[in-house]
Structure 1
């Protein structure tokens, strides 16, 4: 296996398998000589060129996964045995967290502090929680009545295609891949094409964990090969994190064979600030919850709903807080906000901001590329918009960039109406002085998760969206069982006796 070194005048980092692909547990020669460039978001320069998967490589990965599931030991091992192998995988990942965090800065622009929080902190917690939990779950249940005796089993679905995003290629291993493996499935991991460097370190961790042949393949494929995979007759289930249009395409490609899908999609998450909220407490989590990760977070609180009686006060306070959230070189210690991950994200942010201003939104702060940073980088200032109404495009569509809107409301009923007036339903927050009132408001918001006087969600308990934010759940026991089918074994009695 070859090892290349990423060298840009900064710290040199070895990356395994840049001219190879990881299929069925081994580094192999790609089917074609196709390559993909890795562009560093902080400068816009190419820092590596790596082998790109082709449809023929996808066929090889699926065939190996199919054989491993149908004939291999993995689905027939006990949950405890699978947990032991997954624990080895976790060990290998954790040995490489520092390297993956640094490579993430090179390929997607996230500062080291963000990687430490999301990968080293949350990622480790999520996959360790799943590995610990899996052997304790009720994989079999005997249900006996006066007339019937039935055994209910949870069995693996089969071959799983796990589609990951550039904003979470490591943490999603704990939310998606390890649960699928614990349940007894074989997996083809499909990271975003932006994640070429971290992908190869993940693959090397899987190789070192010594899964049975064919159980794990890793292909950071582009559009053509990704579509080939989602339509592949050998894939039994697709578990995807990403955007709505891609999800629709996946569902359409999976529909002819009725393959299972689970989708964690985007959001336009509201944060309701009640009349009695203490703004000092609110700002501590609301501002990071709105623009953390440069807004490239599916649960970002991009719509702040403020009571009209305190609207100007809240806008002024938010503007001051946003002004303190400066953008910097992601390689510099202490940088919290770096560039956007790619040129597409920067262009989308600028286009959506321009449309918002045309529709009457007022720019409070931000709104431009910082002048003091590399002009080739994909930087953009944290941006706050006021005088926004919920029917504006900026209030209805996901930016996936650092643009936050403040929308006025008249009374809690109006706030709840605005919060629910979206096709999305992934996350939300309610900030209120009265805890009982906050809970009642939270119950009325149609969303997969709501936080009270906090931002974000628990990633060790079931999480997912409603409406066009997707279906299915990740994390917790439900996130593991998402990758199973329920099988009934009738031991005695019959349908006529039930």
Structure 2
């Protein structure tokens, strides 16, 4: 059975696409087609941006709604999405291989939570700030929505990342044109149904599924005021260059090669569930995972054995099975790319202790893979692989561990594992990264998330995630004499 859509969600309703081009969705566990949607090409992007522009410029439109009224609409959106949550989680797991136990959290529960969080936050953070002036008058600083937002999201956590963008953007009063990834489109259309049911005003949210050409046209579009992109560093550099030339604000959440620093005092075997979530979650298809495991030389063999044992113990299977911990990768092309990186690691002399091969049978599966004796200068340690592949790197002392962690072009996530949380905090503060955990890792909605160096710039989540969709207008009031 397949799910097919024939119309695009643009301007508050379902519209005929400009062409007959279609995007086919596939099941990662079988390689079989499971549905299709129209492919949005340039005329469709033009129509979507025009609808968003009209909705933003309307004198009585979305940006002019009182914050409490926007919050009420977002609450209805949260309710409509939550009602579809189990089906959305299922569609995501089928398409990208995410274990259903995880998609139930990241794809079904997190989006309504983010809508409600920002609905509550906007009423507090949208108020003018009156400041006494130094020249006798006063200044009123008014936060205003930045305008029409182009939001481009990847396939690995399609709904979770979508709402990291659209929840604060909509709460701020922006209108949005969303481009989902071609690999995960069926869930986006179910989300559009929820938006329609919730009564989002026409043009406030528009969805244009497509590939690179669709994304480029959206980023360059004259009607767009800000771009928010999550994806590869290569694509992020191109988008940054385009937005720089246009003097257009842009937020970029890009790749990572984060370090999981195992300190000598920790009993890692007691933290294996947390360690799994910080290093191999979602089949290794998360940008912030700690795929470089830094182990002290004094306990190196022991740590390698523990990490190897974890990889070999994972339950591999159908992503819709609640017991599955490791599902298939998103596509044959992506699996082959990860397999090529593993072959490169073997050729470079790293010691393979777990995995390294693709199981026989249908689907795009790859065994959880661990390499020992990895040099931090090797491709295995420097390039983002985006699959279930860990590189265990030895270090001599704490200073060298921090130096190795910082010796990367990336800086997105990371973790420190220790029996002493205070020591863990001290080490975490010395790692040059946008986010890091001690004895675990989480993207908590209250705290900003984003990267440094080649991992991008700008922040999502927290009040900072709302502020990125606002601009500050200063109004100066002279004191009358």
Closer/same/farther in 2, CA of residues 256 and 146 from structure 1, 3 Å limit: closer
Closer/same/farther in 2, CA of residues 382 and 493 from structure 1, 3 Å limit: farther
Shift of 1:463: 1.2
Q: Does structure 1 conserve the Cα–Cα contact (< 8 Å) formed by 2:261 and 2:401?
A: yes
Alignment of 1:112-191 (within 5 A): 112-137=100-125, 139-147=127-135, 148-191=137-180
Q: Residue by residue, what CA displacement relative to the aligned partner does 1:104-155 show, whole Å, maximum 9, x if unpaired?
A: 1222122221211212343333332222222122531001035231000110
Whole-angstrom distance in 2 between the partners of 1:34 and 1:225: 12
Counterpart of 1:10? none
Q: Residue by residue, what CA displacement relative to the aligned partner does 1:432-455 show, whole Å, maximum 9, x if unpaired?
A: 122222111111000111111112
Closer/same/farther in 2, CA of residues 146 and 59 from structure 1, 3 Å limit: closer
Alignment of 1:268-347 (within 5 A): 268-347=257-336
Q: Residue by residue, what CA displacement relative to the aligned partner does 1:400-448 show, whole Å, maximum 9, x if unpaired?
A: 1000110000000000000000011111111112222211111100011
Whole-angstrom distance in 1 between the partners of 2:373 and 2:134: 66
Q: Does structure 1 conserve the Cα–Cα contact (< 8 Å) formed by 2:78 and 2:111?
A: no
Counterpart of 1:12? none
Alignment of 1:36-435 (within 5 A): 36-71=23-58, 72-137=60-125, 139-147=127-135, 148-371=137-360, 375-435=361-421
Alignment of 1:411-490 (within 5 A): 411-490=397-476
Gaps of 5+ in 2: none
The number of residue pairs the alignment matches comes to: 478
Moved more, 459-468 or 57-66: 459-468
Shift of 1:376: 3.3
Q: Does structure 2 conserve the Cα–Cα contact (< 8 Å) formed by 1:451 and 1:457?
A: no
Q: Does structure 1 conserve the Cα–Cα contact (< 8 Å) formed by 2:38 and 2:209?
A: no
User: Structure 1: which 4+ aligned runs deviate by more than 4 Å?
Assistant: none
Q: Give me the TM-score of the superposition, normalised by structure 2.
A: 0.96
Alignment of 1:22-41 (within 5 A): 22-41=9-28
Q: Please state whether the residue corresponding to 2:330 is helix, strand or coil.
A: coil
Q: Give me the TM-score of the superposition, normalised by structure 1.
A: 0.93
Q: Residue by residue, what CA displacement relative to the aligned partner does 1:242-296 show, whole Å, maximum 9, x if unpaired?
A: 1101111112222332111001111111011111112223323112221110000
Cα RMSD after superposing both structures: 1.5
Whole-angstrom distance in 2 between the partners of 1:109 and 1:284: 20
Q: Does structure 2 conserve the Cα–Cα contact (< 8 Å) formed by 1:20 and 1:27?
A: yes
Whole-angstrom distance in 1 between the partners of 2:294 and 2:307: 12
Q: Does structure 1 conserve the Cα–Cα contact (< 8 Å) formed by 2:79 and 2:112?
A: no
Q: Does structure 2 conserve the Cα–Cα contact (< 8 Å) formed by 1:195 and 1:220?
A: no
